[in-house]
């Protein structure tokens, strides 16, 4: 109560009172709850293995990409675009199959299911 009475009876400028209050609060917080810088590292990312089909499609797409750099012909460009879409579909299917099998393996263990739920969807 002594602090409140002294603040009420003081004939100080409100700006000076606000500055004093701010300074006191900062010193209290620094003493009792100091600011600490922490680094939060993300956990292990779940790595999905590509199926053999997706690997083959990706290999074919890379081959067409190299061919397109050497020969920017319309037919090669069209084949490359088609291969890119096929690779994307194959990778998404492979990822979905991998997640489904992981859910099937560990549906009784919530601890192992939680990292699967935290993975970001791609596509």
50, two tokens: 């590509």
Phi, psi dihedrals of residue 11, rounded to the nearest 5°: -105, 45
Judge if 15 and 58 occupy the same domain. no
69 within some domain: yes
Q: Are residues 69 and 104 in the same domain?
A: yes
Residues 74 and 106 grouped into a single domain? yes
Residues 64 and 98 grouped into a single domain: yes
Residues 24, 57 within the same domain:
no
> How many domains is the chain partitioned into structurally?
2
User: Is residue 46 situated within a structural domain?
Assistant: no
Q: Is 20 a domain residue?
A: yes
Do 74 and 108 reside in the same domain of the chain? yes
Assigned domain for 44 exists: no
CB 61 within 8 A of CB 80: yes
Rounded Cα gap, residues 116 and 123, in angstroms: 17
CB half-sphere exposure, 119, CA atoms < 13 A: 17
Together in a domain, 80 and 22: no
At residue 57's C-alpha, the angle toward residues 54 and 59, to 5°, is 110
| pLDDT averaged over 10-residue windows placed end to end, the chain, 123 residues | 63 80 90 84 68 93 93 91 95 87 73 68 52
Residue 40 lies in a domain: no
Give the range of the structural domain holding residue 16, as residue numbers without chain letter: 2-32
CA distances to 52, 57, 120 from 61, in Å? 14, 6, 25
Identify whether 59 is part of a domain.
yes
Query: What is the structure's pLDDT at 45?
Result: 61
Q: Does some domain include residue 45?
A: no
DSSP-derived letter for residue 36 is -
pLDDT reported for residue 36: 84
Sort residue 107 into left (φ over 0), alpha (ψ -120 to 50) or beta.
alpha
pTM of the model: 0.51
């Amino acid at each position: 109560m002594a602090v409140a009475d002294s603040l009420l009876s003081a004939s100080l400028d409100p700006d000076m009172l606000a500055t004093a209050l701010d300074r006191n609060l900062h010193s209290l917080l620094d003493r009792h709850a100091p600011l600490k810088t922490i680094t939060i590292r993300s956990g292990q990312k779940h790595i999905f293995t590509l199926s053999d089909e997706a690997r083959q499609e990706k290999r074919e797409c890379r081959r067409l990409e190299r061919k397109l750099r050497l020969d920017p012909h319309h037919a090669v460009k069209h084949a490359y675009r088609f291969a890119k879409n096929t690779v994307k579909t194959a990778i998404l299917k492979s990822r979905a199959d991998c997640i489904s099998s992981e859910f099937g393996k560990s549906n009784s263990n919530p601890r192992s299911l939680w990292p699967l739920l935290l993975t970001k969807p791609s596509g």
